[in-house]
Amino acid sequence: MEFLLYLALGACAGVLAGLFGVGGGIIIVPVLVFSFTLQGFDASILTHLAVGTSLATIIFTSVNAVREHHRRGAVRWPIFAWMTVGILIGAGFGALTAEAISGPHLQKIIGVFALIIAVQLALDFKPKASRTVPGKVGLTIAGSFIGWASAIFGIGGGSLTVPFLTWRSVPMQQAVATSSACGLPIALASALSFMILGWHDPLLPAHSLGFIYLPALLGIALTSMVFARFGARLAHNLSPRLLKRLFAALLFCVGVNFLL
C-alpha cells in the first residue's frame, strides 16, 4: 500500500516539476512525513529522512523535465552554470543546518515555508522585472542561498529560483526551464550530503542509505520521470493559474498541519 502511495506521489511531483519548476519537493516532504509516521519510524529522524528522500527523488524528476525544456530551447545555460557553483556550496551547508535542527522543529520550519509559498501562489505574486541578470559573482551568491535553503526544505529550489530570475528580467518560461535545470545540482549535492550525514544513525529503518529511504525513492522515481515531461509540455501550452490556486490551497493545509 505504501509503495502505491509513492507511485502516485511521484506522478504528482513530476507534473509539478515540469509545470512550475518547483521540483515537487514541497509536496513530497509532507506526504513522506505522514507516511513515515504511519509506518512507525522514529520521530527524531523521520523528518530528516523525508527531506533527504525528497531531494534524491528530485534527481530523477529533473532529468526529464530539463530534457523537455532544453528541446524547446528555453534553458539559459550560462545562468545555470554560475548558479550551480554557488548551489554546490550552499547545498552542503544546508544539509548540515537541517541535521542540526530537531525533527519537530524542522517540521515547523517547513510548515512556515509551505504557508509562504501558498500565499505567493494564491496571490500570483511575481516580482517585477526591474533588474538585469547579475554577473558571475551575483549568480554564484544567489545560487549559494538557494542551495542552502533548498537542502533544508527538501525542495528543488524552483519556488526561490523562478522569482529570482523573473525579478532579473528572465522571461517566465525561461525562468521555469532554468530553474528546473538548477534543481539537478541542488538535488545531487543535497541528497549526497544527507546520505553521508545519516549513514551511521542507528534509528534508521531497513533499506535506508543514510537519510534516504530507498522504497520511497524507487516508487517516486518510477512515475516522476514520466510525468515530468508531461508537466513541462503543459508549461509551454497552458495557463496554470487555476492549478496554482488549487496547489496553494493544498500547501496552506500542509503548512497549518505542520504548525499545529
The per-residue pLDDT for 85 is 95
From 55, 54, 41, 52, select the one nearest 205 (Cα to Cα).
41
| Cell digits of residue 145 | 542561498
Structural domain for 49, as ranges? 1-258
Q: From the first residue on, what is the mean pLDDT of each consecutive set of 10 residues in the chain (260 residues)? A: 83 73 72 88 93 89 80 92 95 93 91 87 76 91 95 83 88 87 91 93 94 93 80 69 72 83
| Cell digits of residue 82 | 554560475
The per-residue pLDDT for 86 is 96
From residue 56, how far is each of 151, 159, 172, 203, 223 by CA, in Å? Answer: 11, 18, 26, 20, 14
146, 83 Cβ separation under 8 angstroms: yes
How many C-beta neighbours within 10 Å does residue 128 have?
A: 8
The per-residue pLDDT for 239 is 64
The per-residue pLDDT for 21 is 55
Q: In sequence order, what are the residues at sequence separation of 6 or more whose Cβ sits closer than 8 angstroms to the Cβ of residue 16? A: 22, 23, 24, 26, 27, 231, 247
Predicted TM-score (pTM) of this structure: 0.84
Give the rounded distance of the alpha carbon of 103 from its chain centre. 19
Q: How many domains does the chain have?
A: 1
The per-residue pLDDT for 255 is 86
The per-residue pLDDT for 185 is 93
